[in-house]
């Protein structure tokens, strides 16, 4: 390919493609494959804890006994068996106001975000979100040429009054707000949870203002302390699209998630997914169905929680022990992540380059920030490495931070 030809092709890119970029998380993912580095970067669940032998037997049995079905195209809605089981999984989180016909199985919850944008957003539209928020969602918004506008938060999540003000301000400026995208439980990257007493008000504001809620809840069951607050969906079946996932409670490589969609919006929503992927993978859905049926999946979640709780505690203890003064961090009650705030002026992208040399990596904060104002912040993940490694990683990071603060 000559430079001339490449240029010709570049001119063919859509405007939309200009916004498509590799996420910072994927960039760092490549680095994390170096075994001499301690990676506090990846939010990968610790799958070694799964009953792998059993899952292998399930997969083999399904292929041998039901291969022509398992390896065939399936319904764009997902299999009936899994959709029915998803109702039980949601019920385990206290969500009982979803009907069978309101559930569509998706290729991970990532694709449910894409479907929502496709159905609701035109280029130039606005969506509201937390700051920081999930980088994968920000990338989807960008790909649909949608502007993500942050709403004020504190250590208890979205602030209802700030939401009201933001809506008024953006509307006064002529912006068309389509939905609030929120991760109410154990936000990725901040680890923050929306306080129970704020939830009804957030739901009420969005309903009154005619703004949908996209509730992204992949970590809800990974709770290490305290009582679960009601999901937004359980407070409003008509204005909340709920996105769930098997990625964190089972295995992300199967790429199976789901959306529970208000009845009147359902048809368009699922047809948008069908147009992209035809159907979610049949074999993987069948594996999950058998796993849910034959394995104590709630016991498995409890095992995960025990492991992640001790890893979280190890990270909090190491931060308390090693972190220099002047740096604050969140105290997540669940999920995978802790969010550090450094003094203004320390750029965590630059710090990451030093971290690679010093043998510790993390994700710089800016990628998660719709306002771009998180260059002095960073995300640590405690889910995928053991306690000693976490402690060593935090020690290395703290040495780096001491140097950065001194210079």
Binding site for ligand PMP (CB under 6 A): 43, 108-110, 134, 136, 183, 188, 216, 218, 245, 247, 252, 257
The SS3 of residue 329 is strand
Alpha carbon 162 to its chain's center:
23
Closer residue to ligand PMP, CB minimum distance, 380 or 401: 380
Closest approach, Cβ 247 to ligand PMP, in A, equals 3
Closer residue to ligand PMP, CB minimum distance, 129 or 351: 129
Closest approach, Cβ 278 to ligand PMP, in A, equals 18
Closest approach, Cβ 137 to ligand PMP, in A, equals 7
Closer residue to ligand PMP, CB minimum distance, 134 or 362: 134
Closest approach, Cβ 109 to ligand PMP, in A, equals 4
DSSP for residue 307 = H
Closer residue to ligand PMP, CB minimum distance, 43 or 191: 43
Closer residue to ligand PMP, CB minimum distance, 222 or 346: 222
Pairing of strands 337-341, 377-381: antiparallel
Closer residue to ligand PMP, CB minimum distance, 108 or 365: 108
Closest approach, Cβ 377 to ligand PMP, in A, equals 17
Residue from 318, 315, 346, 371 nearest 133 by CA: 371
Closer residue to ligand PMP, CB minimum distance, 218 or 334: 218
CB of 255 closer than 8 Å to CB of 107: yes
| The two three-digit tokens of residue 249, written as one number | 């409670």
CB of 195 closer than 8 Å to CB of 226: no
DSSP for residue 79 = -
Closest approach, Cβ 256 to ligand PMP, in A, equals 8
Closest approach, Cβ 186 to ligand PMP, in A, equals 9
String of b and e for 233-272 (b: at least 16 CB within 10 Å)?
bbbbbebbbbbbbbbbbbbbebbbbbbbbbeebbeebbeb
CA distance readout (Å), 161 to 164, 184, 211: 5, 17, 16
Residue from 316, 330, 375 nearest 155 by CA: 330
| The two three-digit tokens of residue 23, written as one number | 């996420």
Residue least distant from ligand PMP (Cβ): 108
Indicate the helix (H) or strand (E) that contains 39.
strand 38-39
């Amino acid at each position: 390919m000559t430079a001339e030809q490449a240029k010709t092709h570049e001119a063919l890119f859509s405007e939309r493609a200009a916004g498509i970029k590799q996420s910072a998380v994927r960039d760092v993912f490549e680095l994390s494959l170096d075994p001499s580095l301690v990676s506090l970067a990846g939010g990968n669940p610790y799958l070694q804890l799964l009953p792998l032998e059993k899952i292998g037997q399930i997969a083999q049995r399904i292929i041998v006994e039901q291969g022509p079905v398992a390896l065939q195209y399936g319904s764009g809605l997902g299999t009936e068996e899994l959709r029915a089981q998803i109702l039980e999984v949601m019920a385990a989180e206290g969500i009982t106001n979803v009907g069978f016909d309101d559930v569509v199985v998706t290729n991970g919850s990532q694709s449910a975000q894409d479907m929502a944008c496709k159905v609701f957003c035109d280029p130039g539209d606005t969506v509201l979100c937390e700051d920081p928020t999930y980088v994968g969602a920000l990338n989807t918004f960008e790909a649909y040429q949608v502007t993500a506008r942050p709403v004020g938060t504190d250590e208890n999540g979205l602030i209802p009054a700030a939401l009201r003000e933001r809506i008024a301000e953006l509307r006064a400026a002529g912006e068309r707000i389509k939905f609030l995208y929120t991760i109410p439980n154990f936000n990725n990257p901040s680890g923050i949870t929306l306080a129970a007493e704020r939830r009804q008000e957030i739901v009420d504001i969005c309903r009154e203002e005619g703004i949908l809620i996209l509730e992204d809840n992949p970590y809800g069951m990974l709770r290490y302390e305290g009582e679960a607050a009601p999901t937004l969906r359980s407070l409003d079946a008509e204005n909340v699209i709920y996105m769930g996932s098997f990625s964190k409670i089972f295995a992300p490589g199967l790429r199976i998630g789901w959306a529970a969609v208000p009845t009147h919006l359902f048809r368009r929503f699922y047809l948008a997914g069908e147009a992209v992927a035809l159907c979610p993978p049949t074999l993987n859905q069948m594996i999950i169905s058998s796993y849910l049926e034959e394995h104590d999946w709630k016991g498995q979640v409890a095992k995960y929680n025990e492991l992640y709780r001790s890893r979280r505690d190890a990270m909090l203890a190491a931060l308390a022990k090693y972190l220099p003064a002047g740096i604050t961090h969140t105290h997540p009650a669940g999920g995978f992540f802790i969010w550090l705030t450094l003094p203004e002026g320390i750029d965590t992208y630059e710090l990451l380059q030093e971290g690679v040399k010093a043998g510790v990596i993390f994700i710089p904060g800016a990628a998660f920030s719709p306002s771009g104002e998180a260059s002095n912040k960073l995300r640590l993940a405690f889910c995928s490495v053991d306690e000693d490694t976490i402690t060593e990683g935090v020690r290395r990071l703290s040495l780096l931070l001491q140097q950065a603060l001194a210079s």
